[in-house]
Amino acid sequence: MISLHDVYVQGSDAVKAAVITFGTRHPANHGDPISEPDWKQAEKHFTYLIEDIMGTAVPPQASAAATVRRAENAAIDFLLAVNNRPNYRCPICVKRQRASR
């Protein structure tokens, strides 16, 4: 499965900006949104996002590798879609916050 770091390295300028924005949604100091990103958490949440997308997809007749690639591309498309939305929250963070209530 592709890592968030690899998405950044291989991506266009728009993809790189989206990865940086996704990282900022995971501040290392949770009380300070201006703090440096917690890249370890952002990386995990990107992986969970891909896994969630794969888990909800109807299994096609394609190979497992093709299914993973489609989920990876959908996760990257998600990053691009929400990149310019000022107050979006990571869906994995939201899901975990709801579960802890």
**Entry pTM:** 0.85
Cβ neighbours of 2 (radius 10 Å): 17
> Helix or strand or coil: residue 44?
helix
pLDDT of 61: 67
> For residues 57 and 40, which has the higher predicted lDDT (pLDDT)?
40
Containing structural domain, residue 76? 4-99
User: pLDDT tens digits for 64-84?
Assistant: 788 889 899 999 999 999 999
Q: CB under 8 Å to 15, separation ≥6 — which residues?
A: 7, 8, 76, 79, 80
User: pLDDT tens digits for 7-32?
Assistant: 999 999 999 999 999 999 998 887 66
Which helix (H) or strand (E) element contains residue 29? none
CA-based end-to-end distance of the chain? 31
Per the structure, how many domains does the chain have?
Answer: 1
